[in-house]
Amino acid sequence: MRFQDKVAIVTGGASGIGKEVSARFVAEGGSVVINGRDAAKAAAAAKEIDPTGKRVLVHAGNIALPATGESLAKAALDQFGRLDVLFNNAGIFAPKPFLEITEAEYDNFLDNILKGSFFTAQAAAKAIKAGGRGGAIVQTGSMWALQAIGATPSSAYSAAKAGVHALVKNLAIELAPDKIRVNAIAPAVIETPVYDTFLTPEQVKAVLPTFNAFHPLGRNGQVADAAEALLFLASDNASFITGSILPVDGGVMAGRQ
């Protein structure tokens, strides 16, 4: 098993991609610290992933606060004695035209995506470095940071995710001497509960299928598609890969048919 006896932090681990990554990491021999803002939701996810409670720890908190990243790393060390992997997956998404974005909305994107990723990665890197075994930090970036999509105007979101992509390359160089690899995935449309945060259930049912044809492979991505890529980048199978942004986009970045 790829993650036997390894320990990971998963931000945004209570649902969607983060929950899938947590479940798969545990299924492959590891233990996880799940982070999310909603403690009850995270606890329910943890119970589903590991009913024994031995290999999943819930640590709720807002990753926009640097203290949350520090407490996550400490929780992993206190509970499991080590830290090997950080899945920086938490974030928000809500398309809105550039001319309508307020300062508060702009700050919210940067705080929850870029600032949260930055300081959580910093805390995790310190803990991984102290362990002396090396490890991996895997960020969830975005196709929207690589290409603008007129149907989903996302300037503030895209700018924040582009910062995450730049962070990947900088950390890959800085942390290479400590054998800490840093990579990201750049997903296109992945069917996760994030769409429920700005669309009604009826709108989700009507809108998401319209994006199937947007992907050359003819379908939207599923959480398992993104999770598989994240887990690969965290595993020893990717031991010679660092500083990469891996498109998980059904061919969108390849071009148009």
Catalytic (active-site) positions: 157
> CA separation (Å) from 250 to 23, 26, 160, 220, 255?
24, 27, 23, 8, 11
Tokens of 143: 């196709």
Tokens of 217: 């492979």
Give CA–CA dist 257/253, Å, rounded: 11
CB 161 within 8 A of CB 145: yes
CB 60 within 8 A of CB 35: yes
Give CA–CA dist 33/58, Å, rounded: 6
CB 186 within 8 A of CB 251: no
- Residue spans of alpha helices (H) in 176-238: 201-207, 223-234
CB 130 within 8 A of CB 79: no
Cα Rg, the chain, nearest whole Å: 17
Count Cα atoms within 13 angstroms, Cβ side, for 96: 15
User: What is the identity of the amino acid at 204?
Assistant: V
